[in-house]
Amino acid sequence: MAAAAPALNAAARARLVQAVQRNCDIADARHATELALCSYLLQMREFYRWEQGLALGAALPRDAVGEWIAGREARWESLQTSPWAALPLAGDASGPLDPFDAEAVNARLLPQGLLYGAGLVGGARPVFFVAELHALTLREGLRVQQAGHELARGLAAPPAALAGAGDGPVVLRRESMARACWERYEAFALRPAPGSAFAAMLEAYGFARGFEAALPRWLDEHVEVALLHELGEHRVGLRLGPDWAALYAALPTRRASLQASAVRDQLADLSSTLPALLADGAAPALHAWFAGYDGLREALFPGLVAAYRCWRQGDGGRALNAAIGHGRAHFEALAARLLDAQRAGTGAAAALEAADARCAWRPEA
């Protein structure tokens, strides 16, 4: 039996964090300019708070933030053509580890209370992080890894992901979830929308008593909601099979890729997330889920929002249960048509354009 790798001392841990942060910066150097200006500036504000160790909601000195952004952009400019940094972890002759080999890295880090993440967002943008390990669990045969305080991260910080080409683990980033919640909370305070799902979520979780007081309960329940979605992604992946990945890779435009992703997201939530929340009577979590249901997903199934309104008006979930059944059947049939088109060589993108991807079901008046 091989000897256990030596524990990281403070110096080794610092070198690891530095290497991961360098890779985060290289990824940002190559991809940060893809963001719209407004999104970029909002993300940079939260990135500044994280790097400076400031509390959520801490006042930001405008001049200092401006200087920091200029310095960060100058660093990115210097790193655009730099190679990825190998991670200085191996304590034997095997040498440093590939930064994309999260399994090998975590084999070293998990026993020491650290969690590493590496992957591609949207199939193209590399994302890395290293964090203090919050929890390790198992759900439906999938490993679930929860990250706590993040020690190195990039501008992009996806809160949840199904890694391993859909086979797990599920990676959940609690700190990133909390920061995303704060961003929306801050934006809502500037432009309130009474009666919206987000307003209902704030009331249900007691955010009126203060953000920090309400955050722990929201975070614990949001972790479960995110996990339900990723479990749904896993189940959908098993049903669609490997041809779906080939279909996605062959799509010629970003719009077509976003549509295909939205179809899969609908299937995941209609088969996993929403049925579970309804069955549990998880009203606050349902408000939170619908607070994030927008954009292309809502455009594909606007009747789901109408069913949510019926639920809020006291129909006992009848419209939502009906919507879940109709929507699931619609998007399963759509996914099957896309796969058939891909296998026949006619192209899924053409099928997306020709077919009505939108589910037209609405609750009865």
236 is written with which tokens?
Answer: 């959908």
Measured between alpha carbons, how far is 301 from 129 in angstroms, rounded to an integer? Answer: 34
Q: Which residue has the tokens 């354009």?
A: 353
> 365 lies in a domain?
no
Q: Give the C-alpha separation, 249 to 123, whole Å.
A: 8
The pLDDT assigned to 351 comes to 73
138 sits in which H/E element: strand 125-139
Cα–Cα distance, 57 to 189 (Å, whole number)? 12
Determine the pLDDT at residue 165.
Answer: 73
Distance CA 144, CA 164 (A): 12
CB 207 within 8 A of CB 217: no
148 shares a domain with 24 = yes
Strands 170-173 and 142-153: parallel
Q: Judge if 104 and 249 occupy the same domain.
A: no
Domain count, the chain: 2
- Residues 203 and 310 reside in one and the same domain: yes
- 19/146 same-domain check: yes
Is 38 inside any structural domain?
A: yes
- Together in a domain, 201 and 109: no
Say if residue 197 is in the same domain as residue 323: yes
Boundary-marking domain end, from 175, 208, 237: 175
Same domain as 208, residue 344: yes
How far, in Å, CA of 80 to CA of 28, rounded?
A: 9
Is 251 part of a structural domain of the chain? yes
332, part of any domain: yes
* Pairing of the two strands 142-153 and 125-139: antiparallel
Q: What pTM does this model have?
A: 0.93
- Give the separation between CA 339 and CA 104, rounded to whole angstroms: 34
Residues 154 and 213 in one domain: no
- Whether 345 is in a domain gets the answer yes
For the chain, how big is the Rg over CA atoms in Å? 22
* One domain for residues 129 and 202: no
Q: Is residue 180 part of a domain?
A: no
Domain end marker among 175, 201, 229? 175
Residue 1 has what pLDDT? 38
In angstroms, the CA 152 to CA 16 distance is 9
Looking at the structure, tell me whether residues 156 and 216 fall in a common domain: no
Alpha carbons 20 and 9: distance in angstroms, whole number = 17
Q: How far apart are CA 350 and CA 179, in angstroms?
A: 39
Separation of CA 318 from chain center? 30
Query: What is the rounded distance in angstroms from the CA atom of residue 184 to the CA atom of residue 39?
Result: 12
pLDDT at 355: 63
Gap between the Cα atoms of 115 and 102, Å rounded: 9
168 and 267 share a domain?
no
Are residues 161 and 245 both part of a single domain?
no
Among 175, 205, 228, the domain-final residue is 175
For position 357, what pLDDT does the model report? 85
pLDDT at res. 145? 98
**pLDDT of the residue at 166:** 72
Q: What is the pLDDT of residue 94?
A: 60
pLDDT along the chain (365 residues), means of 10: 67 95 97 91 94 93 96 96 92 75 95 96 90 97 97 96 86 97 94 96 95 96 97 95 89 86 96 97 97 94 97 96 97 93 80 78 88
Q: Which range of residues forms the domain containing residue 266?
A: 192-354
What is the sign, positive or negative, of the torsion defined by CA atoms of 283, 284, 289, 293? positive
**What pLDDT, on a 0 to 100 scale, did the predictor assign at position 246?**
87
Does residue 124 belong to any structural domain of this protein? yes
Cis geometry, peptide bond prior to residue 169 (ω within 30 degrees of 0):
yes
pLDDT at residue 5 in the model:
60
Residue 2 lies in a domain: no
Q: What is the pLDDT of residue 90?
A: 65
pLDDT (0 to 100) of residue 2: 45
